[in-house]
Structure 1
Amino acid sequence: MIKIERVLIPVDGSDSSRNAAKYAAHLVSPRSAKLYLLNVWEPINMTIGGEKAEKLRERAHAKAMEMLEEYKSLLEPCGLEVELIARSGRPDYVILNVQDELDCDLIVIGSRGLSVLENVIMGSVVTRVLEGATCPVLVTRNLRVKYLQDACGL
């Protein structure tokens, strides 16, 4: 039997990623699994440099950590160990790099992010994660209420 010990949950503030986080918390055992909440923000444009670029990076990191803290408090009733990770870069690359770096056993990701236009223009982050991941990927989509209620008091 495969033991799920490390679960990566990419989040972006969307309802889809919030539901994926809830479902992941419901899916794993608090005694055996650690959740990694990951938020990826767009890199600062290379034409912006110096102190201004550093301030923009700091602001983006702070905003990402604020969102991650909200997700962490949402999952607190589950009693799970949760680590927060905020990184800059192309979302699919960062997700796959973090999955590899942490040797995650599972990625739980919502099917829709915040940017529908980006999905049309660049292709879906979820599709690229599915194609590149070296662990199982669980994509949550239109979850029924029964999958989101009574998950550790959520």
Structure 2
Amino acid sequence: MIKVERVLIPVDGSDSSRNAAKYGAHLVNSKYPKIYLLNVWEPINMTIGGEMAEKLRANAEAKSMAVLEEYKKLLEPCGMDVELISRSGRPDYAILNVQDELQCDLIVIGSRGLSVLENVIMGSVVTRVLEGATCPVLVTRNLRLKYLKDACGL
């Protein structure tokens, strides 16, 4: 049996990522599971410097940590070890870098379901994560309540 001990769950505050977090925590089946919640925030424009850049960076990181704390509270009933990670940068790169650094066994990511045209124009974080991940990736989309009713934190 494959042990899923380290699960990376990228979150962004959307219902899709909230449901992915619940479902991902429910899937973990090891004795000492570890959930890594990751939030990626937009980097500060390089043309802004000095004290203003530091204020903007601190503000962005504080907002990111607030989102992560909300998810941590959501998963408290699961009784798992949850670590919060806040990173700046392009979401797909950050997700893949954290997955590699922490040697995660699984990435659980919610998909909002962009239209085909939006996906072609903007690209898709989920698609790029699927292409670059070195571990299995579970993409959740429009989960029905029956999949979440026994999940932790619902």
TM-score of the superposed pair, with normalisation by structure 2: 0.93
- Is this contact kept in 2: 1:7–1:36, CA < 8 A? yes
Residues 56-77 of structure 1, C-alpha deviations (whole Å, 9 max, x = no match): 0000000000010000000000
Q: Which amino acid aligns with 1:2?
A: I
Are residues 1:58 and 2:58 paired? yes
- Is this contact kept in 2: 1:16–1:112, CA < 8 A? yes
SS of the residue 2:4 aligns to:
coil
Q: Give the CA RMSD over aligned residues.
A: 1.8
Structure 1 gaps, min length 5:
none
SS of the residue 1:7 aligns to:
strand
Q: Which amino acid aligns with 2:63?
A: K
SS of the residue 1:36 aligns to:
strand
- Is this contact kept in 2: 1:43–1:89, CA < 8 A? yes
Residues 70-98 of structure 1, C-alpha deviations (whole Å, 9 max, x = no match): 00000000101100000000000000000
- CA distance in structure 2 between the partners assigned to 1:113 and 1:41 by the alignment: 20
Are residues 1:86 and 2:86 paired? yes
Q: Percent identical across equivalent pairs?
A: 85
- Is this contact kept in 2: 1:40–1:87, CA < 8 A? yes
1:118 Cα offset (Å): 7.3
1:120 Cα offset (Å): 5.4
Aligned residue in 2 for 1:3? 3
Aligned residue in 1 for 2:136? 136
Aligned residue in 1 for 2:101? 101
Aligned residue in 1 for 2:18? 18
Aligned residue in 2 for 1:70? 70
1:38 Cα offset (Å): 0.1
1:29 Cα offset (Å): 3.0
1:149 Cα offset (Å): 1.1
- Is this contact kept in 2: 1:30–1:78, CA < 8 A? no
- CA distance in structure 1 between the partners assigned to 2:45 and 2:128 by the alignment: 23
Structure 2 gaps, min length 5:
none
1:3 Cα offset (Å): 1.0
TM-score of the superposed pair, with normalisation by structure 1: 0.93
Aligned residue in 1 for 2:29? 29
Structure 1, 26-35 or 36-45: larger mean CA deviation: 26-35
Count of matched residue positions in the alignment of Structure 1 and Structure 2: 152
- Is this contact kept in 2: 1:17–1:113, CA < 8 A? no
- Is this contact kept in 2: 1:104–1:135, CA < 8 A? yes
